Amino acid sequence: MKPFIYNAMPGRVVFGSGVLSAIADEARGQGCKRVLVLSTAGRRAMGEAAVQCLGDLSVGLFDGAAMHTPVEVTERAMQVMRETGADGVVSIGGGSAVGLSKAIAARTNVPQIVVVTTYAGSEATPILGETREGVKTTRRGPEILPEVIVYDVDLTLDLPLEISLPSGINAMAHAVEGLYAVDANPPISLLAEEGLRAMASALPRIKVDPRDVEARSDALYGAWACSAVMGSVSLGLHHKLCHTLGGTLGLPHAQTHAVMLPYVTAFNATVAPEAMARIARALGVRDAAVGLHDLARSLEAPQSLQEIGARKEGLERVADLVVATPYPNPRPIERGLISDLLVDAYWGRASFRSV
Q: What is the CATH number of the domain that holds 122?
A: 3.40.50.1970
Q: What's the burial of 16, exposed, middle or buried (CB within 10 Å: 0-12/13-18/19+)?
A: middle
pLDDT at 355 exceeding the cut of 60? no
On whether both 185 and 328 belong to a single domain, the answer is yes
The span from the CA of 282 to the CA of 278, in Å, is 6
Task: Answer with the one of 91, 121, 156 that is the final residue of a domain.
Answer: 156
- Is it the case that residue 37 has pLDDT exceeding 70? yes
Is residue 304 in some structural domain?
yes
Q: Is residue 174 domain-shared with residue 114, that is, in the same domain?
A: no
Of 109, 139, 156, the position where a domain reaches its end is 156
- Taking residues 67-93, what's their average pLDDT? 97
| Amino acid 135: pLDDT | 85
Going along the chain, which residue ranges are E strands?
A: 12-16, 35-38, 58-62, 88-93, 112-116, 127-132, 135-140, 148-152
3-state secondary structure 254-294: HHHHHHHHHHHHHHHHHHCHHHHHHHHHHHCCCCHHHHHHH
Indicate if 140 and 238 belong to the same structural domain. Answer: no
Residue 219 forms part of a structural domain: no
Q: Identify the band that residue 354 occupies on the pLDDT scale cut at 50, 70 and 90.
A: low
104-120 pLDDT, tens per residue?
999 999 999 999 999 98
pLDDT at res. 352: 87
How many structural domains are present in the chain?
Answer: 2
In a domain, 96, yes or no: yes
Task: Say yes or no to pLDDT of 184 above 70.
Answer: yes
Give the integer Cα–Cα distance in Å for 38 and 342.
34
pLDDT of residue 32: 98
**Domain assignment present for 91:** yes
Confidence of residue 7 (pLDDT cuts 50, 70, 90): confident
Domain final residue pick, 156, 176, 198: 156
Let me know if residue 123 belongs to a domain. yes
Tally of CB atoms within 10 A around 266? 23
The pLDDT mean for the chain works out to 95
Query: Do the domain assignments include residue 324?
Result: yes
- Cα–Cα distance, 77 to 40 (Å, whole number): 12
**Residue 302 pLDDT > 60:** yes
Residue range 240-248: mean pLDDT, rounded: 93
**Does 103 share its domain with 250?**
no
Q: Higher pLDDT residue, 68 or 48?
A: 48
Q: Is the pTM of this model over 0.85?
A: yes
Using DSSP, state whether 53 is helix, strand or coil: helix
Q: Could you tell me if 180 and 322 lie in one domain?
A: yes
Question: Do 226 and 174 meet the contact criterion of CB atoms below 8 Å apart?
Answer: yes
Range 9-14 average pLDDT:
89
> What residues form DSSP beta bridges with 112?
89
Q: Are 14 and 151 in contact (CB under 8 A)?
A: yes
- Cα 304 to chain centroid distance, Å, stands at 19
Indicate whether 222 pLDDT > 90: yes
Task: Give the pLDDT confidence score for residue 5 in this predicted structure.
Answer: 84
Identify the pLDDT of residue 331: 96
Spatial CA neighbour of 113 closest among 94, 96, 88, 93: 88
Pair 115, 200 in one domain: no
98 and 200 both lie in a single domain: no
Domain extent for 258: 161-211+234-354
